[in-house]
């Protein structure tokens, strides 16, 4: 009679229990020889394959040592040092948004001044700021100014698009050098398709009856262009709204797209760590709870989360020393630090 094992299989066929039968001997696996075959006469020997992992870059996220810290607002954080750093990044992001609205530095201020005379040109410069991203350098806008110098001056209206080869890129850039200027072309075609002769202003305003939150949401969805992911789109509409060019204000982080969370979105990846959940809807809910508890505008979390998970703070053309001390105090209290 056949015998069944504890895994409810015939004992002879069970990969685990069959090893206990008398006379069991493991099958010898055939050995592979590497590079042992000789090359035919007149041919050079085949090049040995590179060792596994050669040329691979492994990025390790820094985390502080767990010390028993716990907060319902950020259930994925278990170290008070990590929670304190998140509070600091919230304070920096809050100060950046306030400065952007009150006294924008560098090219941001030029965009606001230019908008009074040429809204189309100012919007185009704003697009390049969000798309290329300011540098972490003495001249953070050098790459964007180089791209502007290479353009025709009427890029947004059908003129020659700038050559982005060798243009330095900032830490939150959306540009992929392999694409060349294809994303810029896609943006211009989107404007023509959406608003026709009305230009960027008409495309970004949409329905005049929309609220700033509704306008942000609808334009954000429509701007889903090849090579222009959530980070760039969110930054573009956020900057244009804070500078006062258009009535745009987000009511969420817009983490979920048609394909779910993007693997290259630093904000989304950090949100998954901080809030200990991967579902986009729950991420948005927990992000909103944190913003309301501090309290801060929800858009503050976009840069704060990305910087929290990064080894180096992205300042995006602002001084890295700015901080909203009131927001820092509120965040510290809300997180129980």
Phi and psi based region of residue 225 (left: phi greater than 0; alpha: psi -120 to 50; beta: remaining): beta
Cβ(317)–Cβ(140) below 8 Å: yes
CB under 8 A, 24+ apart: contacts of 220-225:
220/250, 220/254, 222/190, 222/194, 223/187, 223/190, 224/257, 224/258, 225/183, 225/186, 225/187, 225/190
- Given this model, what pLDDT does residue 14 score? 75
The encoded tokens of residue 154 equal 């009427």
Inter-helix orientation angle 182-195/119-132, to 10° = 140
- Given this model, what pLDDT does residue 8 score? 60
Domains of the chain, by residue range, sit at: 80-334
Cβ(118)–Cβ(129) below 8 Å: no
- Given this model, what pLDDT does residue 39 score? 47
pLDDT in 10s for each residue of the chain, 337 residues = 556 666 666 667 777 677 667 666 665 544 444 444 444 454 444 444 444 444 444 444 556 788 889 999 999 999 999 999 999 999 999 999 999 999 999 999 999 999 999 999 999 999 999 999 999 999 999 999 999 999 887 777 777 899 999 999 999 999 999 999 999 999 999 999 998 888 999 999 999 999 999 999 999 999 999 999 999 999 999 999 999 999 999 999 999 754 455 667 999 999 999 999 989 999 999 999 999 999 999 999 999 999 999 999 999 999 999 999 999 999 999 999 9
- Given this model, what pLDDT does residue 34 score? 43
**Global model pTM greater than 0.85:** no
């Amino acid at each position: 009679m056949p015998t069944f094992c504890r895994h409810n299989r015939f004992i002879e066929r069970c990969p685990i229990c069959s090893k206990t039968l008398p006379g069991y001997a493991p099958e010898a696996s055939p050995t592979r020889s590497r590079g042992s075959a000789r090359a035919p006469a007149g041919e050079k020997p085949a090049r040995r394959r590179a060792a596994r992992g050669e040329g691979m870059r492994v990025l390790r996220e820094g985390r502080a040592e767990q010390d028993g810290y716990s907060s319902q607002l950020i259930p994925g954080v278990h170290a008070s040092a990590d929670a304190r750093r998140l509070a600091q990044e919230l304070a920096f992001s809050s100060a950046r948004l306030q400065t952007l609205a009150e006294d924008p530095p560098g090219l941001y201020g030029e965009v606001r001044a230019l908008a009074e005379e040429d809204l189309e040109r100012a919007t185009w410069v704003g697009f390049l700021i969000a798309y290329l991203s300011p540098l972490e350098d003495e001249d953070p806008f050098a790459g964007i100014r180089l791209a502007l110098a290479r353009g025709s001056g009427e890029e947004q209206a059908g003129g020659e698009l700038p050559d982005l080869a060798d243009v330095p890129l900032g830490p939150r850039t959306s540009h992929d050098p392999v694409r060349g200027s294809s994303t810029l072309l896609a943006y211009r075609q989107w404007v023509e398709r959406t608003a026709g002769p009305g230009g960027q202003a008409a495309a970004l305003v949409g329905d005049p009856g929309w609220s700033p939150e509704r306008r942000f949401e609808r334009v954000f969805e429509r701007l889903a262009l090849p090579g222009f992911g959530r980070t760039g789109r969110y930054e573009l509409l956020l900057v244009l709204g804070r500078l006062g060019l258009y009535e745009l204000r987000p009511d969420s982080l817009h983490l979920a797209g048609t394909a779910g969370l993007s693997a290259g979105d630093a904000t989304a990846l950090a949100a998954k760590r901080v809030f200990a959940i991967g579902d986009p809807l729950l991420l948005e809910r927990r992000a909103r709870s944190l913003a309301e508890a501090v309290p801060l505008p929800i858009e503050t979390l976009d840069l704060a989360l990305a910087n929290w998970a990064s080894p180096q703070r992205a300042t995006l053309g602002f001084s890295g020393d700015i901080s909203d001390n009131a927001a820092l105090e509120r965040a510290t209290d809300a997180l129980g630090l």
